[in-house]
Structure 1
Amino acid sequence: MKVVYEAANLIDAHLVRHALEAAEIPVFLRGEQLLGGMGELPLFGVIAVCVPDVVWPQARAIVEALPLGEGAAAVDDAADDDLGWLPA
């Protein structure tokens, strides 16, 4: 098994997992059970999405195509004139 994606949180890990499983790629989430073990301490790099070595290139291409960690869409500069309702 090879790590194809290190998730920042459980939601990202499951989004990647479902995208890979939709392409019929078997997936194993390493570290999913450890999230509650450290209480309220933030842990990073604990959850890893793993796939078999043979399908790693195909899985990597799918992961790179996913919109992970992009945040909100960028606002056009032309839309700056019309800001709509603003707080007082």
Structure 2
Amino acid sequence: MKSVYDAANLIDAHLVRHALEDAGIPVFIRGEALAGGMGELPIHGMMQVCVPEAAWPEADAIVKALDLGTPREPLDEDDWEPGLQPG
């Protein structure tokens, strides 16, 4: 198995997993069983979406096509607009 995506959290990992499984690629989420221990374990790099090495090129193309982007930066007070509530 080869990692095709480093997930930020369990939901992120499962979104990628479902996209890959829809394409017929078998998926394993490494670190999924550790999700309950996040309070004591470092989160970064803990969960990885893995696929068989033979399927990696196709899986990599699918993940890139998902255009998952980068996490948004928190809003500064200067960026707030009337009626906009920070989440």
TM-score range, shorter chain: 0.7 to 0.9
AA at the equivalent of 2:82: L
What residue is the counterpart of 2:48 in the other structure?
48
Q: Which residue of 2 aligns with 1:79?
A: none
The RMSD of aligned alpha carbons is 2.0
Displacement of 1:38 in angstroms is 3.9
Q: Partners of 2:4 and 2:41 in 1: how far apart?
A: 25
Q: Which residue of 1 aligns with 2:78?
A: none
Could you tell me how far apart the structure 2 residues matched to 1:86 and 1:16 are?
A: 35
* Structure 1 residue runs without a partner (length 5+): 73-84
Indicate the larger mover: 58-67 or 35-44.
Answer: 35-44
- Matched with 2:76 is none
- What's the TM-score once normalised by structure 2's chain length? 0.75
Change in 2 beyond 3 A, CA 1:54/1:16:
same
Q: Report the TM-score, using the length of structure 1 for normalisation.
A: 0.74
Q: State the identity %.
A: 67
User: Counterpart in 1 of 2:14?
Assistant: 14
Aligned pairs for 1:1-88 within 5 A:
1-39=1-39, 43-70=43-70, 86-87=82-83
Q: Give the unaligned 5+ runs of structure 2.
A: 73-80
Runs of 4+ deviating beyond 2 Å? 38-42, 69-72
